[in-house]
Amino acid sequence: MGNGAAGQVGVVAALVRAAFLVDGVYARVSRAYGLTPQQGQLLCVLMSQPYGMSELGETLGLAKSSLTGLVDRTVRRGLVRREADPRDGRAVRVGLTEQGAALAGKFYAETCRRMEDLPSGLSGTERERLAVLLSRVVVDNEVPEVFVEAATVPVPFSGSSPS
């Protein structure tokens, strides 16, 4: 089926097929949590901080009308809220609610777990090399941070104050 020796494919086919693989993980985890993949991405982006609508549109690669619809649907579910931008009274920022932060944390953890399983057939050295090469592709193409390393994500609000 178009594969070279030992299942080897070219870089273009590998990237496209990897994108399908990652999209499939997002879709399955989203369904498991009653979200659309776009809502899952929105929650992951908002885990670090609230964003203005234009920033969100750029980060998620969505037109204003599509983003407005996504935010509206997610607001109705009680997962995000609109708040006044402290720097510009006319602007609105979007942030997670307590419920949204809790769900985002669970969704993020499960997505990470499943993504971590994807290269399970690689050795530790191969995984490190894959990470280095993919990082270069992402950086060279200025891909926004729609998903960050687990170690850099703040712990979601749990609803109880620390002792």
* Alpha carbon distance 72, 78 (integer Å): 10
User: Could you tell me how far CA 72 lies from the centroid of its own chain?
Assistant: 19
Question: Quick one: pLDDT at residue 3?
Answer: 53
Structure tokens at 16: 């496209």
Instruction: Say what the pLDDT of residue 6 is.
Output: 61
Separation CA 80–CA 121 (nearest Å): 38
Measured distance CA(150)–CA(112) in Å, rounded? 8
* Prediction pTM value: 0.80
pLDDT of residue 87: 84
List Cα–Cα distances, 43 to 3, 33, 37, 123, 133, in angstroms: 37, 12, 10, 32, 27
Contact between 9 and 2 under an 8 Å Cβ cutoff? The reply is yes
Terminal-to-terminal C-alpha distance of the chain: 59
Report the C-alpha gap between 79 and 43 in whole angstroms: 8
**Cβ-contact 44, 107 below 8 angstroms:** yes
pLDDT in tens, 43-85: 999 999 999 999 999 999 899 999 999 999 999 999 999 998 8
Q: Yes or no: say if 108 and 153 are a contact pair by the CB < 8 Å rule.
A: yes
| CATH class held by domain 16-142 | mainly alpha
Q: Which residue ranges in the chain fall short of pLDDT 70?
A: 1-6, 149-163
